Amino acid sequence: MLSTTKHARHGAAKSLLAAVAGAVAMAAAIPAQAQAAPVTIIPGLPPVEIPGFKPPKQLQPPKPKPQVQPKADNGVPIPPAPPQPPVASRTGWVGLSDDHQHFIFWYRNGVFVRSMPTSMGTNKHPTPNGTYYIKDRKRSMWMDSSTYGVPVKSPEGYRTFVEYAVRMDWNGIFIHGAPWSVAQQGRSNASHGCLNVSMPNAKWVFDTIPRSTPVIVRGTVGGGNWRTPRD
């Protein structure tokens, strides 16, 4: 009996020592775990600690670049094209010359095609508002104020050589090249009633826009609802 009891006591003491040793080991491991690398969580996988692994920084979407308004050849900002005016066109083409914007806008079959700066008639010689129709065209010609009653040698008179002249009416209003007014085109009015445009734009109109195409003029101080025969 004494031998058995002694053996049991020895076993209990051994178990106690083992438990104390385990507790000491766990306590010693706590600081080590506190200094270990943080646990990395990868979506779809259980948390894994990868030595030396740093999760990537969250990518930020790129900042949108500021939109720059396009400019014409003479540096004038090009405004957005307004809707095509509701006017019938046997050619499919329609022109709109808006004096508030000092631009001519061209449409074909309801689709905007091209815009160009223009300089129309001054307040003293305004371009009448209304609907015009393209008529004949001259590769080059002399424009003479005496044709509508203003002597060439008078203060308001002129005799000017122009190129790519496209007639809008029989009273002397044309779309034509005017290199002398490029600085005003898209900004202000400087003509005696014609629609001045740059030489490249005048050539494009001369080569592209067919006879009988309607051209609407609006926004001038000319008043009226000008309309000329188609032919």
Q: What is the pLDDT of residue 54?
A: 72
For position 136, which CATH number holds? 2.40.440.10
Domain membership of residue 175 as a residue range? 93-227
Q: Are 56 and 49 in contact (CB under 8 A)?
A: no
Chain mean pLDDT for the chain: 82
Residue 101 and residue 19 share a domain: no
In a domain? residue 71: no
Q: Are 156 and 150 in contact (CB under 8 A)?
A: yes
Highest mean pLDDT pick, 6-10, 71-75, 136-140: 136-140
In a domain? residue 56: no
**Threshold 0.75, pTM exceeds:** no
Residue 219 and residue 116 share a domain: yes
Residues 3-58 have pLDDT tens digits of 555 555 555 555 555 554 554 445 444 444 444 455 555 566 666 666 776 767 77
In a domain? residue 134: yes
Residue 183 and residue 100 share a domain: yes
Please name which of 183, 104, 102, 171 lies closest in space to residue 143, comparing C-alpha atoms. Answer: 171
CA distance 99 to 105: 11
Residue 126 and residue 20 share a domain: no
Q: What is the pLDDT of residue 205?
A: 98
In a domain? residue 163: yes
Residues annotated catalytic, as ranges: 176, 194
In a domain? residue 187: yes
**Number of domains the chain contains:** 2
Residue 193 and residue 112 share a domain: yes
Rounded mean pLDDT, 133-139? 97
